[in-house]
Structure 1
Amino acid sequence: MKYSKRFLSIAILSVLCFSVVACAGNRPKDPEGPDSAALPEQRTTIELMTTWGGVDSMAGTLKEIIARFENENSTIKVSNQSIFGDEYLPTLKTRFASGTEPDVFGLWPGSDITYLVKANKVADLTDILKQDRAWMDSFNLSSFTYTTYGNKIYGIPFEMVFEGLFINKDLFEKYKVEKPQNYEELKTAITAFRSYGIIPIAYNSSAEGSYIYQNMVASLGGKKGVEQSISDGKINQIYIDAMKYMKELYDMHAFPKDALALNSNERNQLFFTKQAAMIVQGSWFIPYFDKYDQSVEMIPFPSMNNSSPKVPTGLGGGTFYISRSAWDESPGEDATILFLKYLTSKETATFFYEKTALMSNLKIQQERPYSSLAQKSIDLYEKTREENKTSIPDHIIDRSAWNDVVIQQFPYFLEGKKSAEEIWSEVVIRIQQN
């Protein structure tokens, strides 16, 4: 069959047009074009792990902060994997050991973060901070001392904490018991509450339960004694003496009958429900109470040697770090830094302060916090002279030795099955071997 030249020309032109259209249909759309909104956004997920999870007093506020950040940054998702209580540290360490560490994590100062830094598991933030001087200078620069290792800054010292004795003031008033200012008065209060069927001190044999013991150590030794913990291969005597005072209180039935079996939440509930008159806790304990609650007060832990009361203070779990693995991809790195800056900003610090009375290391003048308990507790801290502020003992002692030896064997000591000297000798050996 023959075809005219005109027909062939039309046929060839039609094929070419079809080919052009087909190719155009397969070509990616111009991201700047009118149809670009139809393309899915590239999302980055940041894994966050802190102690502010579960029933922790900061948990709700942290969720609000994350929601605000995600609303302002639609391409970033924050996976909040925070854990409450004594399970946090072992879980975090397990994740680092298995290579599944979170991108951003909170951890107080001490041996654990030191080990992670030495193992090259933590990102060096020095250059990033120096490039953004407004961010770095928003903090009290002295606070970076506690997150600096080998002249490099690894952590953002956001949260400052302090410890003391919380009392159910209404119980003290009802039974006409004086607030204890020294150890003898503390024993008098214990005897009085026992006689009325009230548990004197909510305590359990966990790492968190050890705050009462740590306050005794701080009271006996002050800043110098706490920090000079080991000399000539021996533990400072104050650590031994404080354990013996704990044994005296145990024998006086100052603690719950099942103190050695309670978990941390159960211990706290004894105080919340007025079954216990006292508990030794930190500033993070304040937001557990209603803003209109006038029945609770925070006072300095009673002096153990009739000197001025001491207040253990330091950086809290809201000291934030970035894992090295978060640097693997530049988009992840950029998003992680963006989130860390938001998490440690003045706006976030103010929000936490107003909601929970969290005290930060930022250079900001805060208005009155949300409750009278918060205001009085902050006044307690601010009126304490610097020489009476001490380090927190478990920030000084190797944390693995503290948890695995001191905490684990404390029940044996209280029950008279092991001496304080034996336990601390084991701790010193453990530290020297590390």
Structure 2
Amino acid sequence: MRSIKPAALIAAVAAAGLLAACSGGTNAGDNGSGSTPSGVLTLASVDQGSIEDVVKAFEAANPGVDVRFTTSGADQYQQQIRTQLSSGTAPDVMTVWPGNGNPGATYVLAKPGYLMDLSDQPWAAKLPPAMKSVAQYDGKTYTGVFGQNGIGAVYNEDALTKAGLTAPGTWSELLNFCKAAASKGTPAFALGNQDNWVTQIVLYALVATAVYGPDRDFDQKMQAGQATFADSNWKVAMDKYLQMDKAGCFQKNPLGTSYEASQTLAATGKTLGIIQGNWVIALLKGKNPAGKFTLKTLPATDNPAEFVMPAAAGAGYGVNAKAKNKDLALKFVNFVMSPEGMNLFVKKQGGLPSLPDTGFTPDPSLAELSKYITDNKTVPFMDQLWPNPKVQQTMLSGLQEIFSGQSTPDKVLKTMDADYKASS
């Protein structure tokens, strides 16, 4: 997922899958004459719950500036942004995911010329190599990536204590944990598969260890035509996903549960947690300010030494190449990439900054993710290195079909292979 968003992964995440909301009205950016006032910036974001504070800080630092923004879920956003860009109705600044995994990703939007080249901005040269590679297209930087995100099991510590259970440390313990939680009437994890980008999250958490634990060069082998999804441990990871479902790891009817509803279940202790990106922690705290939430790796084998976590650049911001207020748009993205803006964003989201030396102190809930990053036991969100967005879309719809009994892991993985090879 490109953060998800995140995809999707990368969607997703970045954060992703958020309810629609808006500030400034539906006519933001139009003063009636077809142009935008010099002090008005239009913005579209999927970072509901965190973009609001960043906007307030930016406006406070720039008196007279009015940021008119909308927020929406990743699925809705990705469907709309390409149409808006091609029709000339897109905002000045917009959420852009790293890499190439979804319709709102850097490669996909930069290739047709929809994004402004940001290579000469002061932060661009400072991006770590792994982040720079997915924020660029054809050697030029197009996306201001402000945070690193990870995917794992986010536990509601109060709910765990109430249930008399502890977070599992191995795959066998995970299945037993799910059975024990289900027997107490409190499912282990909330799963909002009604939003199709959510379907990939549990799978990515399992794939990280199942596929990349034994083979860190799997992506290179895929690109060279030496490996496939169907004939690899992707099949093992998908099978484990279904084993979790059969073991009662999730609440009833995940396909009828939205991302928003899954947050409520985990935040209020109706489940013991949720498998998601770290961005969900801020949303859970918003629903339960007194709650304590901790992100841990999701076990996929019985050997913790093999564990790997998905962790990668999250969704960032790009500038519309045809922005009505380019100067203010650049100023906003540079604020997001400044220590002040970056730290505000990642603190609100429960993430980690993309640049070093920002003075940021990670939330204790992210201690395990921070250690995995430091120990180089992470892999990018899987879709970020795929050759086209179709692979992810096939996976997402396929996972929903698997959960509804209309498809199988073998069928979905073979179709993903066909989509991957089509543009390799």
TM range (shorter): 0.7 to 0.9
Q: Alpha carbons of 1:156 and 1:68: their partners in 2 closer, same or farther (altered >3 Å)? A: same
Deviations 1:155-190 (A, max 9, x none): 222221112111122333333323211111000001
Q: Distance in 2 between matches of 1:403 and 1:280?
A: 19
Counting only pairs closer than 5 Å after superposition, residues 311-322 of structure 1 correspond to structure 2 as 311-317=309-315, 319-322=316-319
Alignment match, 1:224: 217
Q: Distance in 2 between matches of 1:141 and 1:424?
A: 30
SS of the counterpart of 1:381?
helix
Match of 1:119 among 112, 118, 122: 112
Match of 1:309 among 303, 307, 310: 307
Match of 2:332 among 339, 352, 357: 339
Q: Which moved more, 1:113-122 or 1:263-272?
A: 113-122
Q: Distance in 1 between matches of 2:109 and 2:130?
A: 22
> Contact 2:391–2:419 (CA<8 Å) still a contact in 1?
no
Match of 1:213 among 181, 189, 203: 203
Q: Distance in 1 between matches of 2:309 and 2:85?
A: 33
> Contact 2:165–2:177 (CA<8 Å) still a contact in 1?
yes
| 1:227 to partner: Cα distance | 6.1
SS of the counterpart of 2:250?
coil
| 1:195 to partner: Cα distance | 0.7
Alignment match, 1:152: 140
Q: Distance in 1 between matches of 2:53 and 2:279?
A: 12
| 1:234 to partner: Cα distance | 2.9
Q: Distance in 1 between matches of 2:368 and 2:188?
A: 25
Q: Alpha carbons of 1:97 and 1:262: their partners in 2 closer, same or farther (altered >3 Å)? A: farther
Q: Alpha carbons of 1:68 and 1:402: their partners in 2 closer, same or farther (altered >3 Å)? A: farther
Match of 1:46 among 23, 41, 55: 41
Alignment match, 2:364: 375
Match of 1:110 among 70, 84, 99: 99
Alignment match, 2:320: 323
Q: Distance in 2 between matches of 1:78 and 1:197?
A: 46
Q: Given the two structures, how large is their TM-score scaled by the length of structure 2?
A: 0.79
Q: Which moved more, 1:178-187 or 1:423-432?
A: 423-432
Q: Distance in 2 between matches of 1:78 and 1:347?
A: 18
| 1:63 to partner: Cα distance | 3.5
Q: Alpha carbons of 1:200 and 1:386: their partners in 2 closer, same or farther (altered >3 Å)? A: same
| 1:196 to partner: Cα distance | 0.8
SS of the counterpart of 2:421?
helix
| 1:218 to partner: Cα distance | 0.6
Instruction: State the identity %.
Output: 17
Q: Distance in 1 between matches of 2:252 and 2:137?
A: 44
Match of 1:263 among 252, 258, 263: 258
| 1:142 to partner: Cα distance | 5.5
Q: Distance in 1 between matches of 2:165 and 2:175?
A: 11
Alignment match, 2:52: 60
The aligned amino acid for 2:148 is M
Between the two proteins, the alignment pairs up a number of residues equal to 374
Deviations 1:265-287 (A, max 9, x none): 01111111111112111221222
Q: Distance in 1 between matches of 2:408 and 2:132?
A: 38
| 1:303 to partner: Cα distance | 3.6
Q: Distance in 2 between matches of 1:227 and 1:274?
A: 42
Deviations 1:272-329 (A, max 9, x none): 1111112111221222316974642221211425243212111112x22112112xx7
Deviations 1:23-62 (A, max 9, x none): xxxxxxxxxxxxxxxxxx9624322112113xxx314323
Q: Distance in 1 between matches of 2:272 and 2:54?
A: 30
> Contact 1:405–1:426 (CA<8 Å) still a contact in 2?
yes
SS of the counterpart of 2:149?
strand
Q: Distance in 2 between matches of 1:252 and 1:142?
A: 37
Matched, 1:234 2:231: no
Match of 1:101 among 90, 104, 115: 90
Alignment match, 1:3: none
The aligned amino acid for 2:410 is E
| 1:153 to partner: Cα distance | 1.7
Q: Distance in 1 between matches of 2:220 and 2:250?
A: 28
> Contact 2:280–2:349 (CA<8 Å) still a contact in 1?
no
SS of the counterpart of 1:234?
coil
Q: Alpha carbons of 1:114 and 1:140: their partners in 2 closer, same or farther (altered >3 Å)? A: closer
Matched, 1:187 2:175: yes
SS of the counterpart of 2:343?
helix
Q: Alpha carbons of 1:166 and 1:233: their partners in 2 closer, same or farther (altered >3 Å)? A: closer
| 1:91 to partner: Cα distance | 2.2
| 1:81 to partner: Cα distance | 2.0
SS of the counterpart of 2:153?
strand
Q: Distance in 2 between matches of 1:182 and 1:305?
A: 5
Matched, 1:350 2:339: no
The aligned amino acid for 1:310 is V
The aligned amino acid for 1:341 is N
Unaligned runs of 5+ in 2: 1-35
Q: Distance in 1 between matches of 2:219 and 2:274?
A: 22
Over alpha carbons, which structure has the higher Rg? 1
Q: Which moved more, 1:241-250 or 1:222-231?
A: 222-231
Q: Given the two structures, how large is their TM-score scaled by the length of structure 1?
A: 0.77
Q: Distance in 2 between matches of 1:305 and 1:385?
A: 23
| 1:141 to partner: Cα distance | 5.9
Alignment match, 1:36: none
Higher helix share: 1
The aligned amino acid for 1:234 is T
Match of 2:185 among 180, 186, 197: 197
Q: Distance in 1 between matches of 2:380 and 2:183?
A: 35
Alignment match, 2:411: 422
Matched, 1:243 2:243: no
Q: Distance in 1 between matches of 2:306 and 2:394?
A: 31
Matched, 1:299 2:288: no
Alignment match, 1:359: 352
Q: Distance in 2 between matches of 1:411 and 1:383?
A: 30
The aligned amino acid for 2:205 is N
Q: Alpha carbons of 1:77 and 1:59: their partners in 2 closer, same or farther (altered >3 Å)? A: closer
Alignment match, 1:30: none
| 1:232 to partner: Cα distance | 4.6
